[in-house]
Structure 1
């Protein structure tokens, strides 16, 4: 699915709520985005569902991903996961979730409780594919024993300041996609000379360069988020920008390291 251009650049929906959020989502869909990424914890599955209903695009053309069992949510039980997925389906107004992620696990027990339920949800036809979010390579090894088949996608933060070489290698070994959130490092790419130089060369902005750099990596699917129609549309220019080897090496060579999402309790290995 993500090998097709329409799905290779997804649209993140974090904090897109109310009418302004729906408007942004409709703009994204009608601008060509077909891969929508939300989560139970975002509190906007209803807005995503409303945008799907309003946009002049058939549901069958859209790939809808959501997430459940975030570390901030209540105690995880199989019943909680099953009920939560039914609620997500209702809020989204769809019959099947195209991709369901386990969202920010907190420990092995969490993973061992949630993932077997995902298998049941696939068997029941409520979920088409399963993924994991913010897993370490060790977590992926545990997932290998619990999921059948293995995760379709692994979602984690990735941008020029966090290239995720070890985790990407683990994801490639499993023939899965790496879905990159915070792909422009929450705006930090705009203040980086190496990225600005490549942007000037291609006559685009730094966000587009960062997205094009991610798209140049095998199996990486960035999911930028914006509420501004101009930025929503301009981000799609990344699909047309062809970085050459020198551009990629210049960005690969950035020695700054930054992790935008880093809970105190998380051990990234």
Structure 2
């Protein structure tokens, strides 16, 4: 498994997303992924499954220090006291002494970003998180966090896939050496609608999903966290690591629409703000 180095940590490029996984399904999905070789697990306060992820971390034979664990604070909890309370609850549910990444899940319209990042940094300095970062930050907010505040941002987790190119954000992150973690990397199951992807998949003896993941993972500084409940899907996603796209494949993918955003809650930031 290839990894990316950020803020002193080596993070596996391919991880397991757990959004919408609950109860026994979540517990078994994490255990299965760890048994297959996954070492990057992503959860969040809002997913309401940290306790099930924590049970899996307790039940696996994989040592905790070999697992990269990410969790996130919800956008309504970005006041310093609320962050601290949310973080303490997350640690209890995850049954661990620390997380590897602690991220702001979404920016809040009225947040004091400096105070929020200062609180995350204090948590890091006290050993609760090995690194801090953000999610769903457009270029304008990244500039504020990195250039104005000077926060050591370890990643920005955003929607990114063959139908959403992040053509403004990704170059900015690359220029600052900050990884992009792609969520919804399989466009929430919409890839089958594009025969071009299937044609590339047939050429490589692969699936359209594997091609889409391979396209992401070959990009500089990009990680991906597809949700996969069952062993077959988890194995299939690992198979994307073996696919080597060629110039013609990339040219076909480049012609697909790159502005298809599927995660657009009412509290989303202004994505094009620079």
TM-score range, shorter chain: over 0.9
Which of 146, 149, 163 is the equivalent residue of 1:146? 149
Compute the displacement of 1:202 (Å). 0.7
User: What is the match of residue 123 of structure 2?
Assistant: 121
Compute the displacement of 1:261 (Å). 0.4
Contact 2:138–2:271, Cα closer than 8 Å, also in 1: yes
State whether structure 2 residue 55 is matched by structure 1 residue 50: yes
Compute the displacement of 1:242 (Å). 0.9
Compute the displacement of 1:265 (Å). 4.4
Q: 1:144-173, CA deviations, whole angstroms, 9 ceiling, x for partnerless residues?
A: 233432x11110000011010100011111
Whole-Å separation in 2 of the counterparts to 1:6 and 1:86: 23
State whether structure 2 residue 62 is matched by structure 1 residue 60: no
Contact 1:38–1:65, Cα closer than 8 Å, also in 2: yes
- Deviating above 3 A after TM superposition, structure 1's stretches of 4 or more consecutive aligned residues are none
Query: TM-score by structure 2 length?
Result: 0.92
More moved, 216-225 vs 249-258: 249-258
Alpha carbons of structure 1 residues 265 and 50: separation in structure 2 relative to 1, 3 Å: closer
Whole-Å separation in 2 of the counterparts to 1:214 and 1:250: 14
Structure 2 unmatched runs, 5+: none
Whole-Å separation in 2 of the counterparts to 1:11 and 1:114: 27
User: What is the match of residue 3 of structure 1?
Assistant: 4
Q: 1:117-152, CA deviations, whole angstroms, 9 ceiling, x for partnerless residues?
A: 011111111111011100010001111233432x11
Greater percentage in strand:
2
Compute the displacement of 1:109 (Å). 2.6
Q: CA RMSD in A?
A: 1.7
Whole-Å separation in 2 of the counterparts to 1:135 and 1:239: 27
**Count of residues paired in the alignment:** 265
Compute the displacement of 1:253 (Å). 1.5
User: What is the match of residue 83 of structure 1?
Assistant: 85
State whether structure 2 residue 271 is matched by structure 1 residue 268: yes
Compute the displacement of 1:104 (Å). 0.7
User: What is the match of residue 94 of structure 2?
Assistant: 92
User: What is the match of residue 12 of structure 1?
Assistant: 17
Alpha carbons of structure 1 residues 118 and 129: separation in structure 2 relative to 1, 3 Å: same
Structure 1 unmatched runs, 5+: none
Which of 160, 163, 184 is the equivalent residue of 1:161? 163
Secondary structure of the residue that 1:128 maps to in structure 2?
strand
Contact 2:117–2:151, Cα closer than 8 Å, also in 1: no
Whole-Å separation in 1 of the counterparts to 2:50 and 2:213: 25
Contact 1:116–1:146, Cα closer than 8 Å, also in 2: no
Secondary structure of the residue that 2:123 maps to in structure 1?
helix
More moved, 105-114 vs 215-224: 105-114
Compute the displacement of 1:258 (Å). 1.2
Secondary structure of the residue that 1:165 maps to in structure 2?
coil
